[in-house]
Chain A
Amino acid sequence: MAEIGKTKLDSGWLAARSTDVELTGTQLTTTHPPTGPTAPWMEAVVPGTVLATLVKNKKVPDPFYGLQNEAILDIAISGREYYTFWFFTTFQCKLTGNQHLDLNFRGINYSAEVYLNGHKMVLPKGMFRRHSLDVTDILHPDGQNLLAVLVHPPDHPGSIPPKGGQGGDHEIGKDVATQYVEGWDWIIPIRDRNTGIWDEVSVSVTGPVKIIDPHLVSSFFDNYKRVYLHATTELENKSSSVAECSLNIQVSTELEGNVCLI
């Protein structure tokens, strides 16, 4: 039985420029998975951006030293394909009985296609949105799962006028993404516009019922002597039968040191 809870997928990732990979996502996650950091594949920084991966592998100089950023091809010149990258990893997971597995991306810039064991799913556009995919039915029976993610840059990366300026030509403002990336008076233009799996990737195991986005609010009376905690949560029953649930809420406070009062 897999343990209930979240496991981060933050190691063992590989990356490759999409134009250097002939294979499809289905082939990468079934018959032809990359075997290691051999060209065109390289060790990837996840969470991080395409440029962070390229800097780590010394494919480009570190943009934050001297004028080295000038040596890195800007997306406006190279085109979006040049910074459209594959990211690949594997993870182990064997569910039992009525367990479910979600694959979670807490931030993708700017859109992506996900392939898991040959199955394709789309992560829609938007840098500041989470994605959670129920992958229970497409896990590998032997527990070894192959995951590939094709990440596309923002739709409007814009171009940097010769005189620079706040936010370049402002095209990035057409997307829902961070705007500093075209450069500002305090920072150089970021050549890949922060494209990538920029925040946490995880898998979470649950039983038939999943807790979603609880909301905690406190209200105060009698000059903060009488305090109430209000808790609301969404719950999803993923199973095909009625779920008889016991829902617990527990509040404990940490006394000095590691003593807990419940």
Chain B
Amino acid sequence: EQLQTQHLSISPRARVQYTFPQLFFYKPNLWWPNGMGKQALHHVTISVEVKEHGESDQWTHLFGFRKIESHIDNATDGRLFKINGQPIFIRGGNWILSDGLLRLSAKRYRTDIKFHADMNFNMIRCWGGGLAERPEFYHYCDMYGLLVWQEFWITGDVDGRGDPVSNPDGPLDHDLFMLCARDTVKLLRNHASLALWVGGNEQVPPKDINEALKNDLQLHPYFETPSET
């Protein structure tokens, strides 16, 4: 549906950030959660060719056009979600991890996640005491329309509200926590199913970590555009 080529020079040993001119689509097939419509996914391929060398690198991803919004509803104090402007009743389940010895396989993820879709769920919550789930997990959530609520690695029991009360200030190395969080966001951020990042389970992360996460994860003002004309 779209093909665009840009030319740029990169200095020796340099690392640069490049943004393509935005690509326009008229009424593309949208991605919808399980039970609300199809999970339309588009193949996006980014490749780079270098003069006098040829193809240098290529990256592909299955991308879903969708807009996910959520806010706390004053009446119920619960979080309300909207997908592509349509309110959705969340039917979700808890997820800890696929296997206690981390024998994670695409086949197992596909089976587990299809099972959730067959149970008519439309969200999976990844508990903070488990893992930041893997791209294969998210791939099948994209395919089967399971929205994902992904928690970072803080739990009430271990971080300040357990018995005995321990780690009131979370992990020893907050910079390491943020480095891992930022790298995890880069690993997972392009998946259509990723609906919500959550600081932790039954506990707010330590203040500095929570502020940094909120700051890094806020939607860029550029994209804060109403969907109306």
Q: Is the CB of B56 within 8 A of A207?
A: yes
Q: Is the CB of A180 within 8 A of B157?
A: no
With A196-B102, A218-B65, A232-B18 as contacts: A173 and B170 at CB distance below 8 Å: yes
Instruction: Say if the beta carbon of A214 comes within 8 Å of chain B.
Output: yes
Instruction: Say if the beta carbon of A113 comes within 8 Å of chain B.
Output: no
Instruction: Say if the beta carbon of B91 comes within 8 Å of chain A.
Output: no
Residue of A4, A129, A187, A239 touching B57 (CB-CB under 8 A)? A4
Residue of A214, A215, A228, A254 touching B24 (CB-CB under 8 A)? A228
Return A240 CB to nearest CB of chain B, in Å.
5
Please indicate the chain A residues that have their CB under 8 angstroms from the CB of B24 in the complex. 226-228
Please indicate the chain B residues that have their CB under 8 angstroms from the CB of A260 in the complex. 43
Instruction: Say if the beta carbon of A38 comes within 8 Å of chain B.
Output: no
Q: Is the CB of A178 within 8 A of B10?
A: no
Instruction: Say if the beta carbon of B227 comes within 8 Å of chain A.
Output: yes
Q: Is the CB of B176 within 8 A of A209?
A: no
Q: Is the CB of B61 within 8 A of A214?
A: yes
Please indicate the chain B residues that have their CB under 8 angstroms from the CB of A187 in the complex. 96, 100
Please indicate the chain A residues that have their CB under 8 angstroms from the CB of B223 in the complex. 217, 219, 230
Q: Is the CB of B1 within 8 A of A214?
A: no
Q: Is the CB of A254 within 8 A of B22?
A: no
Interface flags, A203-246, vs B, CB<8A=1, else 0: 00011111111111111111111111111111111111111111
Please indicate the chain A residues that have their CB under 8 angstroms from the CB of B19 in the complex. 230-232
Q: Is the CB of A249 within 8 A of B48?
A: no
Please indicate the chain A residues that have their CB under 8 angstroms from the CB of B163 in the complex. 165-166
Return A172 CB to nearest CB of chain B, in Å.
7
Q: Is the CB of A237 within 8 A of B179?
A: no
What separation, in Å, do the CA atoms of A170 and B162 have in the docked complex?
8
Return A252 CB to nearest CB of chain B, in Å.
5
Q: Is the CB of B55 within 8 A of A4?
A: yes
Q: Is the CB of B58 within 8 A of A5?
A: yes
Please indicate the chain B residues that have their CB under 8 angstroms from the CB of A65 in the complex. none
Instruction: Say if the beta carbon of A48 comes within 8 Å of chain B.
Output: yes
Instruction: Say if the beta carbon of B184 comes within 8 Å of chain A.
Output: yes
Q: Is the CB of A206 within 8 A of B180?
A: no
Instruction: Say if the beta carbon of A259 comes within 8 Å of chain B.
Output: no
Q: How large is the interface on B (under 10, 10 to 19, 20 to 34, 35 or more residues)?
A: 35 or more
With A176-B153, A246-B48 as contacts: A262 and B3 at CB distance below 8 Å: yes
Please indicate the chain B residues that have their CB under 8 angstroms from the CB of A250 in the complex. 2-4, 43-45, 47
Return B132 CB to nearest CB of chain A, in Å.
5
Instruction: Say if the beta carbon of B110 comes within 8 Å of chain A.
Output: no
Residue of B55, B132, B172 touching A207 (CB-CB under 8 A)? B55
Q: Is the CB of B186 within 8 A of A166?
A: no
Instruction: Say if the beta carbon of B125 comes within 8 Å of chain A.
Output: no
Instruction: Say if the beta carbon of A190 comes within 8 Å of chain B.
Output: yes
Return A88 CB to nearest CB of chain B, in Å.
19
Return B101 CB to nearest CB of chain A, in Å.
4
Please indicate the chain A residues that have their CB under 8 angstroms from the CB of B220 in the complex. 217
Q: How many residues of A contact B (CB 8 A)?
A: 97
Return B107 CB to nearest CB of chain A, in Å.
13
What separation, in Å, do the CA atoms of A65 and B70 have in the docked complex?
42
Return A224 CB to nearest CB of chain B, in Å.
6
Q: Is the CB of B10 within 8 A of A237?
A: yes
Q: Is the CB of A247 within 8 A of B48?
A: yes
Residue of B10, B97, B227 touching A245 (CB-CB under 8 A)? B10
Q: Is the CB of A173 within 8 A of B53?
A: no
Q: Is the CB of B130 within 8 A of A247?
A: no
Chain A contacts with B in 152-207, Cβ cutoff 8 A: 165-167, 169-180, 184, 186-188, 190, 194, 196, 198-199, 206-207
With A227-B28, A232-B17 as contacts: A4 and B22 at CB distance below 8 Å: no
What separation, in Å, do the CA atoms of A15 and B186 have in the docked complex?
31
Please indicate the chain A residues that have their CB under 8 angstroms from the CB of B111 in the complex. none
What separation, in Å, do the CA atoms of A169 and B85 have in the docked complex?
45
Residue of B18, B47, B59, B167 touching A173 (CB-CB under 8 A)? B167
Return A253 CB to nearest CB of chain B, in Å.
5
CB nearest to A165 among chain B residues: B163
Instruction: Say if the beta carbon of B7 comes within 8 Å of chain A.
Output: yes
Q: Is the CB of B26 within 8 A of A226?
A: yes
Q: Is the CB of B48 within 8 A of A167?
A: no
Return B98 CB to nearest CB of chain A, in Å.
12
Please indicate the chain B residues that have their CB under 8 angstroms from the CB of A125 in the complex. 173, 176
- Please, could you name 14 A-B residue pairs with CB atoms under 8 Å apart, sorted by A? A45-B103, A52-B101, A52-B103, A170-B158, A178-B130, A207-B56, A208-B56, A214-B61, A223-B227, A227-B27, A233-B59, A237-B11, A238-B13, A250-B44
